[in-house]
Amino acid sequence: MSQPLLEIKNLHVTIEGKPILKGISLTVNRGEVHALMGPNGSGKSTLSNVLMGHPKYTVTQGTILFQGEDYTALSTDARARAGIFLAFQYPTAIPGVSVANFVRTAMKARFGEAFEAKSFRKSFKGALEALGISENFATRYVNDGFSGGEKKRHEVLQMTLLKPRLAILDETDSGLDIDALKTVSEGINRLRGPELGILLITHYQRILDYVQPDKIHVLKEGQIVRSGGKELALELEKTGYKPYETEAAEAHAAGAKGVLG
């Protein structure tokens, strides 16, 4: 059996001393799409930031293994160069920096100093065409005045060109109308392949109509309380997250008992 792409083992995380994640364990193999669902405040975005190495979060217990190596204490830029990509829920505007320059700088960091301008232009133009994005997009400032759909298409463009090993999509469906959702989903599906693992974080089932996950996990109060196939998303659509409150409490009690011995 091949080595997992991502292994999260008993991950506990705090912010300013407050526990947020309370024993997360999750394995993502190459070629798999995992959807992480849960209500506001359950720890979904915290997990995405911790996987990317955000310094404001403290890992108090557990490990993050990427391609078999311990990345728990690795810097954010080192993770990005290794092929971990995070699509933000609310991408930041960078006035004065064009999309083309931003992406080229990121690609140079990802692939090294030997990255050539001619090669970039060819790859960039090809990606724009494949994603149905106008060429004038290249000269616009990053996310400055972009619609919600344009921001998310820009991130799919980055993913296409940076060729990550692991893509973490933090509520990439947030704020999208149905047409933008379909466009972004088509871009994600175009990138699916045997080497890419995707962790898709979402509140709602609707994006899973277009991006079919291999596994779904329910996160509640900092713990994964249920895992299953795509049918789990339909169950959540009917019942909401309230039925999982008991399971979260039981998981927390079991974890506390284990710590106390």
Task: Write down the pLDDT at residue 260.
Answer: 36
**Beta strands 58-66; 69-70: pairing state:** antiparallel
Q: With pLDDT > 90 as the criterion, what percentage of the chain qualifies?
A: 68
Q: Is residue 130 part of a domain?
A: no
**CA nearest neighbour of 106 among 21, 45, 163, 25:** 163
Q: What is the DSSP letter of 209?
A: G
Residue 13: strand pairing partners: 21, 59
Q: Is residue 64 part of a domain?
A: yes
d(CA 231, CA 161): 33
Q: Which residues of 145-175 are buried (b: 16+ CB within 10 A; e: fewer)?
A: ebebbbbbbbbbbbbbbbbbbbbbbbbbbbe
Q: Which of helix, strand or coil describes residue 205? A: coil
Question: pLDDT averaged over the chain?
Answer: 89
CB 236 within 8 A of CB 214: no
Q: What is the pLDDT of residues 70-126, one digit of tens each?
A: 999 999 999 999 999 999 888 999 999 999 999 999 999 998 876 778 889 999 999
Task: Write down the pLDDT at residue 258.
Answer: 46
Q: Give me the mean pLDDT over the 141-145 stretch.
A: 96
Question: Domain limits at 150?
Answer: 6-91+146-260
Helix pair 99-111, 117-131: axis angle to 10 deg:
120
d(CA 244, CA 224): 10
pLDDT surpassing 70 at residue 37: yes
How many folded domains does the chain comprise?
Answer: 1
pLDDT surpassing 80 at residue 254: no
Q: Is residue 119 part of a domain?
A: no
Q: Give me the mean pLDDT over the 186-191 stretch.
A: 92
Q: Is residue 110 part of a domain?
A: no
Torsion (CA) 148, 150, 155, 156 in degrees, nearest 10: 120
Helical ranges in the chain per DSSP H: 44-52, 76-82, 99-111, 117-131, 148-162, 178-191, 231-239, 245-260
CATH code where residue 158 lies: 3.40.50.300
Instruction: For the beta carbon of residue 109, count every other beta carbon within 10 angstroms.
Output: 14
Q: Is residue 246 part of a domain?
A: yes
CB 48 within 8 A of CB 131: no
Torsion (CA) 142, 148, 149, 151 in degrees, nearest 10: 20
pLDDT surpassing 70 at residue 246: no
Q: Taking the CA atoms of the chain, what radius of gyration do you get in angstroms?
A: 19
pLDDT surpassing 60 at residue 211: yes
Q: Is residue 204 part of a domain?
A: yes
Task: Write down the pLDDT at residue 33.
Answer: 97
Task: Write down the pLDDT at residue 117.
Answer: 80
Lowest mean pLDDT among 11-15, 140-144, 256-260: 256-260
Phi and psi angles of residue 36, each rounded to the nearest 5 degrees, phi first: -110, 115
Instruction: For the beta carbon of residue 118, count every other beta carbon within 10 angstroms.
Output: 7
Q: Is residue 134 part of a domain?
A: no
Q: Give me the mean pLDDT over the 42-58 stretch.
A: 95
Task: Write down the pLDDT at residue 242.
Answer: 77
Helix pair 117-131, 178-191: axis angle to 10 deg:
130
Q: What is the pLDDT of residues 67-82, one digit of tens each?
A: 999 999 999 999 999 9
Q: With pLDDT > 70 as the criterion, what percentage of the chain qualifies?
A: 92
Pull the structure tokens for residue 231: 């049918």
Task: Write down the pLDDT at residue 71.
Answer: 96
Q: Is residue 160 part of a domain?
A: yes
Task: Report residue 243's pLDDT band, with 50, 70 and 90 as the boundaries.
Answer: confident
Lowest mean pLDDT among 150-164, 172-186, 219-233: 172-186
Phi and psi angles of residue 48, each rounded to the nearest 5 degrees, phi first: -65, -40
